[in-house]
Structure formats: C-alpha cells, structure tokens
Structure 1
C-alpha cells in the first residue's frame, strides 16, 4: 500500500490542483442566494397565477350554475304558458317567440361565460409574463450583460 502512494507521488511530483484550476478560465458562477431567491419568486408567481386561474374557474362554475337554474325556471314557465289553451296559431306564434328568446339567452350566456374565462386566463397569463420579464432582467444583471 505504501508503495502505491510512493508511485503516485513519484509519477506526479509537481502536480498542484489549485494551480491547475486557477489557470482555467471558468465562467463566473452567479450568486446562489440570488438564484434561489429568483426561483422562489418564480414559484410565487406560478402559485399566484394558479390561484387566479382557480378563482376564475370557480367563478365560471358558479355563473354556469346560476344560468342553469335560471334556464330551468324559464323552462318551467314556458311549459306552463304552452299548456294553456289557445288557438293553434297563437300557440305556434308563442312557441316561435319562446324559441327565439331561448336562443338569444343561450348565445348571451355563452358569450358571458367565454368572457369570464378569457378574463381569468388573461389575468393569470399577465402574472406569468410579468415574472418572466423580471426573471430575464435578473439573469442579465446576474451575468453582467445589461
């Protein structure tokens, strides 16, 4: 065993690892605290965007339920109106009017739900875009490329 150490020492007698590493041109290592802090802010931004998206989804679900309840109430009223006695012509006119109204309500409700979804998604995306922009600025500063 001692012979092995002697052979290594005789094979590389002037080898200095510190000198070798010191002579190498290694890229600067960024401040690890800054890197960890940036990752923390990235996670916070992602968490915030997810929170906004979840709240938006909940708002859409609530509004969808309200629309469904309103539609069911309207359907009950429609069936009552159609069951009343009347001439076939007046009943046909009433059905046409009710169908037109139902269609217009469906279009308006779909647009409203679409707008809610779009607003929620835009808000969440803005939070992520803002953080990405900040992260790029931080990276430029960390690597001295302002």
Structure 2
C-alpha cells in the first residue's frame, strides 16, 4: 500500500509548525499539556463526571436491551413465516392429491371444491398477515417501552443533578 502525499509528514506543509499554528507548541497550549491530566482534574460546574458516565452506561444498556428485544421479535417473525410457509406447502400438496383423486367427478363439484379451497386460503393468508403484524407491533412496542423507560429515568437523573448543582 502506498502512502499518499497528504500523509507524508515530511512533504506535507500542513504538518510543518511554521505553516500550521495548531502544531506550534508556543501558540497551542494543549500541545504542552498531558490531556489525561487536564480531563482528570477538570471541574464541571456542579456535575459529577462519574454520574454522567454512569448515566451514559445506562443509556447504552437500554439501547442494547431494546435492540435485543427487536432482534428477538424479528427472529420470532421469521420463524413463524417459515412455519406458515411449511403449512402452505403441506396444504398445497394435500389439495393436489385431492384434485388428482377427484378426476372423474362432475365439473360443478370440482369448481365448488376449488372455490372453497381458494376461500380458505385467502382467509388463512389474511389471518397469517394479521398474526405477523401483531407480532411485529408487540416487538416494536416492547423495544419502545424499554427506551421510553430509560428516557424518563434519564430526565429524572438530569433534574436531580440540576437540583444538586443549585444547592452547591
């Protein structure tokens, strides 16, 4: 892999402190400081950094839990779709066998059976679509509830932190 001229520190004028004041230690006070020390000793006005970190950890945990719930819901839907597909294939095979055994029957009887089979198939398809949409709505609702609960909790934490800051 070849290096582009931009990343070649010796030939790029951007990396020369004479051309770039941000890289000149006399003009940029952050270059002479240990940033870890700066952030460790940083004072926030009334806010506890550990509380903020803990709150963000809780936020990430809530997002992970909501994602897990959503993924489990999708997996359940996919599993159910597979079951529905198997049922359809089994029913189709049964109808084909039945149609083969009724070859000599009257055309009116065959048409009536076919119409009944179509009606049943349509009713089952609508029922399956309703079931899948309910599964999806339930999964989304559960994931939303996790996030909503954490949001409410987070707002209460912010109110508490502000109240503590006012007391100081």
Gaps of 5+ in 2: 1-43
Measured on the aligned residues, the alpha-carbon RMSD in Å equals 1.5
What is aligned with 1:63? 80
Per-residue deviation, 1:29: 3.9
Q: Larger % of helix: which?
A: 1
Distance in structure 1 (CA, Å) of the matches to 2:113 and 2:93: 15
Tell me how many residue pairs correspond in the alignment: 120
Distance in structure 1 (CA, Å) of the matches to 2:96 and 2:121: 13
TM (norm. structure 2) is 0.69
What is aligned with 2:157? 138
Gaps of 5+ in 1: 1-26
SS in 1 for 2:121: helix
Consecutive aligned runs of 4 or more in structure 1 exceeding 3 Å deviation: none
Question: Does 2:35 correspond to 1:34?
Answer: no
Q: Which has the higher contact order (CA 8 A, sep 6+)?
A: 1
1:82–1:94: 8 Å Cα contact kept in structure 2? no
TM (norm. structure 1) is 0.79
Question: Does 2:125 correspond to 1:106?
Answer: yes
SS in 1 for 2:163: coil
Q: Deviations over 1:79-125 (max 9, x none)?
A: 11122221100000000000000000000000010111011100000
Per-residue deviation, 1:28: 2.2
Distance in structure 1 (CA, Å) of the matches to 2:147 and 2:118: 43
Q: Deviations over 1:55-93 (max 9, x none)?
A: 000000000000000000001111111222211000000
Aligned counterparts, 1:115-134, within 5 A: 115-134=134-153
